[in-house]
Chain A
Amino acid sequence: MSNADATQSVTERLTDRDTLYRIGLYAVMYGLAVVFFVPYWRMFQLSVTPIAVLSQGGFNWIPPEITFAVWQRYLIEEPIIYQWAFNTLTIASITTAIVLLVDSMIAFSITRLEWPGRGLILGIIMASFMIPGYVNIIPLYTLINDLGLMNSYWAIILPFAAGPLGVFLLVQFFRDIPEELEEAARLDGFSSLRIYARIILPLSTPILTALGLFVFIWSWNQFLWPLIVLNDDALYTLPVGVVTLRDVNALAPNVIMTSLALASLPLFIVFLLFQDKLISSVQMQAGTG
């Protein structure tokens, strides 16, 4: 009896503390969400504020009047952003396709075929985790220049297509695919190419999707390298293009913010559609530490 009482009061104390704790938790988490949201709101808010209001200076959270004139200008009258979006989409798509193809091929070769030296090659690829791309930009620039690739999509696509991350993830995944499937296929006279294309790849769609999403977003958002190898307005990617718009519209924050919002929309839509896939693709990488 007294034992039950004691348990009871402990539970009550816990519940009290729990309630307070939960209120605090909600306050902190939603408070942080509001803080995280502020930059988005400011971007949108300024994009719809008339320039007349902006030039008066002063600060507000809700503009006294709003206009979608600049949105209309970039969506309909001046199609430059579409051109940049097209460039970015092309580059990101080709990069993703190449990475998925070459990474899965070499990972297949290393995990499913037996040849001397494959361990060493895997070791060298893994060691390149330590060499972040940016330290190489000067010799890479002279190489792209020598190859005559300056100012082309390929200048952006090729240099970072052979990264170690995809190989690492796919090698781990392919290793766990049971050997029996493959042995049965070999007995049926399947060639290595057919085993790769008809057995290994279809079984790996989840990881290929996750890797593909990650590479696509990474490529889409690249800034430093496109800034270096592109110097033609028509070839700019969105991240480089919007910076040039800022430089010529320094006194019109509404124009700048509209272009930034437009530039962010495509990946935001991708994120809305694939939120869980994208988050799990990020979580996958934690295995790389």
Chain B
Amino acid sequence: MSNVEATTDNRTASRWEQLFDRSTRELLVGLLFAAPYLVLFSVFLLYPLLKGLYMSLHEWNFLEPSKSTYVGLENYARLLEDPAFWNALWNTLEFVGMTVPLIVGVSLVLALGLNKELKGSRLLQFVYFSPYVLTVSVVGIVWAQMFAQGGVGTQYFGWLFSGSPLNSKFWAMPVIVVTTVWWQAGFYFAVLLAARQNVPERLYEAARLDGAGPWRMFRDITLPHMKNALLFVVIASTIFQFQVFGQPYLMTKGGPVGNTETLVYYLYELGFQTRELGFGAAVGYTLLLILVGVSVLNYVLVGGNDE
């Protein structure tokens, strides 16, 4: 059976060899294997990227795109003077600024704690990591309930807020932040746990013999060895959190008075509620530029570290 297959293969191969020279053959086979991915990549990533730029230069008509009018950079000019855009940008920065440090802190504490030999560490790991497998709808709705009337958050922290914190201009965002930390910390905890477990134990033994305390060991051994993993956590969570949408959509509808409306939420409203597609595309492009900026900054920082 396999003999027959091999002969057929050889015969096809030889005809194929007569038609093309070696390098052409390699190019064709190579492209054939790459083609399915490249088609999807071009159609659903590159094309929308270019079309988004094109749309952002137009007053876009959704029902009859041919009736769209070219407006140059007008959408971008409008954006710069649009209070809703600045509000969304500010809220997003506020969210990222609170969430990322908390995620880094919580996931680091979980990872360092669980690195020690604890009874039941598998169970603990399960509990910390499990929220990661939940969808944002479950997370958002459960946490909104916890801060509604009769919810556990309201029961124990009610003295902090009057009424529901999700209706409070001051508290709505912090509640969304805490929700997000609960949802996401486990993911980064797993990353940091692996990094911590890769630090050679003999370094700590040597330091202990030198009389180093826990703080010094943390500062001089743990932190430097976990630097790359920590950078990954900061970068990945910053870029991910910048695109926050589900939590405010489900918990506050962006309110009260737009206080938790984030950039992607604003993008969603423009695209799918008010149907200002051209302007929305400009907002999308601006968000893209911001995130590329964040990435480039990070690459520079990380690159500097590798050398």
Contact = CB atoms under 8 A, between A and B. Distances in A.
Given A134-B264, A253-B145, A282-B190, A129 B295 contact: yes
Contacts of A279: 125, 129, 190
Interface string A228-240: 1000000000111
A286 B232 contact: yes
Interface stretch (B86-94, B96-104, B238-246): B238-246
Interface stretch (A64-72, A74-82, A260-268): A260-268
A115 B236 contact: no
B304 interface: no
Contacts, number: 283
A212 B131 CA distance: 19
A188 B6 contact: yes
A172 interface: no
B44 to A, nearest CB: 5
A125 B270 CA distance: 29
B113 A29 contact: yes
Interface stretch (A137-145, A176-184, A202-210): A137-145
Contacts of A131: 45, 49, 288, 291-292
Given A102-B40, A224-B245, A142 B277 contact: yes
Given A116-B27, A138-B52, A268-B130, A25 B152 contact: no
Interface stretch (B76-84, B165-173, B215-223, B278-286): B278-286
Contacts of A140: 44, 48
A278 B133 CA distance: 10
Contacts of A160: 44
Interface string B11-48: 00100000000010011011111101110110111011
A23 B195 CA distance: 25
A51 B141 CA distance: 18
Interface size class of B (residues with CB under 8 A): 35 or more
Contacts of B203: none
Interface in B134-171: 134-139, 141-143, 145-146, 149-152, 155
Contacts of A271: 126, 129-130, 133
A113 B55 contact: no
B138 A242 contact: yes
Contacts of A199: none
B104 to A, nearest CB: 13
Contacts of A39: 131, 139, 142-143, 146, 182
Contact of A33 (B48, B51, B128, B239): B128
Interface in A106-125: 106, 108-110, 113-116, 118, 121, 125
Given A102-B40, A217-B133, A57 B149 contact: yes
A103 B127 contact: no
B137 A38 contact: no
A289 B236 contact: yes
A126 to B, nearest CB: 11
B246 A223 contact: yes
A62 interface: no
B48 A192 contact: no
A125 B231 CA distance: 22
Given A29-B113, A33-B127, A192-B33, A59 B134 contact: no
B288 A121 contact: no
A143 B51 contact: yes
A113 B30 contact: yes
Nearest to B50: A139
Q: Which 8 A-B pairs have the closest CB atoms?
A: A289-B232, A115-B30, A109-B33, A162-B40, A106-B37, A139-B52, A139-B48, A221-B135
Interface of B: 6, 9-10, 13, 23, 26-27, 29-34, 36-38, 40-41, 43-45, 47-49, 51-52, 55, 62, 65, 109-110, 113-114, 116, 118, 120, 122-139, 141-143, 145-146, 149-152, 155, 182, 187, 190-191, 193-195, 214, 228-229, 231-232, 235-236, 239-240, 242-243, 245-246, 250, 264, 267-268, 270-272, 277, 280-281, 284-285, 287-288, 291-292, 295-296, 302
24 contacts: A29-B110, A36-B127, A38-B146, A39-B146, A57-B150, A59-B152, A101-B36, A105-B36, A118-B34, A129-B295, A134-B264, A135-B287, A138-B277, A140-B48, A221-B134, A222-B135, A223-B245, A228-B271, A238-B137, A239-B138, A264-B138, A268-B130, A275-B125, A289-B228
Given A239-B136, A275-B129, 6 more contacts: A36-B130, A39-B139, A162-B40, A228-B272, A264-B138, A286-B232
